């Protein structure tokens, strides 16, 4: 996995002979509710870039932080990676190459407190990415979800089907069901309130450093009613300013995404690409909102996961505090980051292992408090195809061209949202 912050591969680094004690032992993990939240807001900097970690808040004020941050489907995984009586398949413990997830992506922004509308980036308080995983279109019916329990019976046939399907079919998500109250999702808070521009900076000799941004998975859940409440209008009391008001989040983009792992050599060459193609707004309605927020018709990023045990760097101590970071089980810490003194999995110079890793398994994204590093890769349809490869970018373009014919009302129904609660006018390119 190519590191952008100075990590080295396991082949080139030596491990100390001792291992630190994990600050969050596996025995302390507690099962969380279907939707878990964070309430604090932190502002940090990395290499001179301001990073604001905006947290997704509950509709109920005054409650403390959640017990722990494990997705409901993974909450029973103590230390051995098993769920209940599930068989621990060997494939779960190796690098997953190719398309590891596909689904639909939504972009939201929320105006600052006491502003009824936003008309520029200065008026934006928070910027969120919502990922709704889906099974591949070829393998599932429209009502299925991307939960393993929904399509485990067809997984054995997937590889056989891929041999006769069109290129890129593994990246095409099944159509979204509408007006359902339960659907798995991840809400990601973007620190800089806009996406980095792949066309700014280089990446090669003389081209300069690619733009980056930090993001945090703040909510992993499946209750769309709670999602709407969390994105909706807020009113709360403060000791110094009395009652404060904040307008609801606005929907500014919708499309399809795919997360693809590649490896072109040793383990250090592993990369994870997240690419998306919009269906809404279509090119005719693309406006200033999307341009200012860095939303392109098609774009891609290299994604890395920060090791929750790695110390925060820089003079401003970038990163969440230890109590707020993801609590990965031991087997993920060892097999992905190389934590501990296990010779088989040892990686990096430090006892905690590598500071960053590619998304070697999509399970890494199923924990709240996961800190992500996004590196701008490529814009445009050709750039999307280059990043995802094997016809996946073209496949996403074709399916989103068809889905762009759907109405904005249909898009809202996909998330069981109501237009009077979550405005969608920005899908026409208009600030509101």
Q: What residue spans define the domains of the chain?
A: 10-79+91-428
pTM for this model (two decimals): 0.77
What sign does the CA torsion over 414, 418, 419, 422 have? negative
Interatomic CA distance for residues 189 and 311, integer angstroms: 21
Residues in CB range of 371: below 8 A, 6 or more apart: 214, 215, 216, 305, 306, 308, 319, 320, 325, 326
Identify whether the C-beta of residue 337 lies closer than 8 Å to the C-beta of residue 307.
yes
- At 330, is the secondary structure helix, strand, or coil? helix
Residue tagged 């003079």 (tokens): 315
Q: What's the mean pLDDT in 336-359?
A: 81
Helices 392-403, 380-388: crossing angle, 10 deg rounding = 130
Neighbours of 200 (CB within 10 A): 12
What is the DSSP secondary structure assignment for residue 58, as one 8-state letter?
A: -
For the cut 50, the answer to whether the pLDDT of residue 310 exceeds it is yes
Residues whose CB is less than 8 angstroms from the CB of residue 186 and which lie 6 or more positions away in sequence, other chains included: 130, 131, 133, 217, 219, 220, 365, 366
Query: How much helix, strand and coil, in percent to the nearest 5, is found in the chain?
Result: 25, 25, 50
Q: What is the pLDDT of residues 100-151, one digit of tens each?
A: 999 999 999 999 999 989 999 999 999 999 999 999 999 875 444 445 455 4
- pLDDT bracket for residue 87 (50, 70, 90): low
Highest mean pLDDT of the ranges 198-202, 351-355, 424-428: 424-428
Residues 6 or more apart whose Cβ sits within 8 Å of residue 187:
56, 128, 129, 130, 217, 218, 219, 220, 227, 230
Beta-strand pair 182-190/124-134? antiparallel
User: Mean of the pLDDT values across residues 170-176?
Assistant: 96
User: Taking 80 as the threshold, does the pLDDT of residue 86 lie above it?
Assistant: no
CB contact at 8 A, 365 and 133: no
Q: What is the pLDDT of residue 319?
A: 55
Beta pairing, strands 234-238 & 212-223:
unpaired
Determine the average pLDDT of the residues in 403-414.
96
Mean pLDDT to the nearest integer, 13-33: 43
Confidence band (pLDDT; 50, 70, 90) for 216?
Answer: very high
Residue 19 reports pLDDT greater than 70: no
User: Does 367 have pLDDT greater than 90?
Assistant: yes
CB-based contacts of 13: which residues, under 8 Å, 6+ apart?
Answer: 347, 348, 349
In eight-state DSSP terms, residue 136 is: B
Q: Is the pLDDT reported for residue 355 higher than 60?
A: yes
Burial class (CB in 10 A: 0-12, 13-18, 19+), 243: exposed
Any alpha helices (H) in 195-279, and if so which ranges? 224-231
Q: Which residue has the higher pLDDT, 197 or 83?
A: 197
């Amino acid at each position: 996995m190519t590191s952008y912050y100075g990590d080295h591969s396991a082949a080139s680094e030596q491990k100390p002979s001792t291992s630190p004690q994990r600050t969050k032992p596996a025995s302390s993990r507690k099962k969380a509710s279907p939707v878990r939240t964070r309430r604090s807001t932190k502002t940090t900097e990395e290499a001179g870039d301001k990073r604001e970690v905006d947290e997704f808040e509950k509709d109920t004020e005054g409650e403390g932080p959640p017990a722990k941050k494990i997705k409901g489907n993974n909450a029973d995984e103590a230390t051995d990676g098993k769920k209940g009586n599930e068989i621990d398949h060997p494939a779960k413990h190796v690098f997953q190459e190719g398309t590891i997830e596909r689904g639909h992506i939504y972009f939201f922004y929320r105006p600052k407190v006491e502003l009824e509308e936003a008309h520029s980036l200065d008026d934006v308080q928070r910027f969120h990415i919502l990922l709704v995983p889906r099974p591949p279109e070829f393998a599932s019916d429209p009502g299925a979800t991307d939960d393993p329990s929904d399509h485990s019976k067809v997984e054995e046939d997937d590889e056989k089907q891929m041999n006769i399907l069109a290129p890129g079919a593994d990246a095409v998500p099944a159509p979204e069901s509408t007006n359902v109250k339960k659907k798995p999702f991840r809400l990601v808070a973007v620190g800089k309130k806009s996406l980095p521009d792949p066309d700014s900076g280089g990446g090669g000799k003389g081209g300069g450093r690619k733009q980056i941004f930090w993001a945090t998975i703040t909510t992993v859940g499946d209750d769309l009613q709670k999602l709407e409440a969390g994105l909706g209008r807020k009113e709360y009391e403060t000791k110094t300013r009395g009652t404060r008001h904040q307008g609801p989040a606005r929907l500014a983009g919708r499309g399809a995404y795919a997360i693809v792992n590649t490896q072109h050599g040793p383990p250090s060459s592993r990369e994870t690409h997240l690419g998306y193609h919009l269906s809404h707004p279509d090119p005719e309605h693309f406006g200033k909102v999307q341009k200012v927020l860095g939303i392109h018709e098609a774009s891609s990023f290299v994604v890395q996961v920060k090791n929750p045990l790695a110390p925060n760097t820089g003079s401003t101590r970038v990163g969440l505090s230890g109590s707020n970071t993801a609590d990965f089980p031991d087997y993920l810490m060892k097999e992905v980051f190389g934590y501990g003194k296990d010779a088989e999995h040892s990686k990096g110079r430090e006892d905690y292992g590598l500071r960053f890793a590619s998304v070697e398994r999509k399970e890494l994204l199923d924990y709240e408090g996961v800190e992500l590093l996004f590196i701008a890769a490529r814009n445009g349809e050709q750039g999307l195809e280059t990043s995802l490869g094997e016809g996946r970018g073209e496949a996403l373009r074709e399916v989103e061209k068809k889905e762009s014919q759907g109405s904005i009302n249909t898009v809202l129904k996909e998330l069981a949202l109501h237009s009077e609660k979550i405005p969608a006018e920005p899908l026409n390119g208009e600030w509101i």
